[in-house]
Amino acid sequence: MAEGAENTGSKKKLIIIIALVVVLLGGGVGAWLLTGDDSPEPEKSTVATQQATQVEPAYYVILPQPFIFNVTGDKRDRLVQVKVQLMVRGDSNEAVAMQHTPLIESTLLQAFGAATVEQLRTPSGRIDLRTQALSAIQSAMMKVSGKQVVERVLFTGFVMQ
């Protein structure tokens, strides 16, 4: 009987030693997976990551007066009032946009004057008008300052009667 008890004790010791080895190996493998290898990662040299680090803050140029204009419709003309803000990047673009506010307002009036009631009734038509206004402003600013200056045209108020 003493041999059976001794055999049982050595089996318990063997199981405990195996369990400790498994735990230690598991911990080592887990630590290696978490830390990964120590080789340096290759540098990312894409244009997008370089631009992301060099993006200037956005500024919003509020145009002082809302635009009020008539648009032609199928049955009758409508009166439209639009409040506009311009998004620019950086202090220099903000200063240029503020300096050329009369040119921007005139360009926007020309773009808005070409709109129709049918176009302004739908959200996609208003988006198209905003896109047309942006391209017209960017074209005018290119001629005057040599750069596009304005990144987005935002309608902050839109009323059609």
What is the per-residue pLDDT across 86-145, written as a single tens digit (0 to 9) for each? 999 999 999 999 999 999 999 999 999 888 888 888 999 999 999 999 999 999 999 999
Q: Is 51 within the bounds of a domain?
A: no
In this model, does residue 24 exceed pLDDT 60? yes
CA-CA distance, 105 to 102, in Å (whole number)? 5
Q: Is 12 within the bounds of a domain?
A: yes
Query: What does the mean pLDDT of the chain come to?
Result: 82
pTM of the entire predicted model:
0.63
Q: Is residue 73 very low, low, confident or very high in pLDDT (cuts 50, 70, 90)? A: confident
Same domain, 82 and 154: yes
Are the beta carbons of 142 and 148 closer than 8 angstroms? yes
Strands 58-62 and 78-89: antiparallel
Q: Is 154 within the bounds of a domain?
A: yes
The predicted structure's pLDDT at residue 28: 67
Contacts (Cβ under 8 Å, ≥6 apart) of 103: 140, 141, 144
Share of the chain above pLDDT 70, in %: 77
Same domain, 74 and 130: yes
Q: Is residue 40 very low, low, confident or very high in pLDDT (cuts 50, 70, 90)? A: low
Q: Is 48 within the bounds of a domain?
A: no
The residue segments making up the domain with residue 120 are 56-160
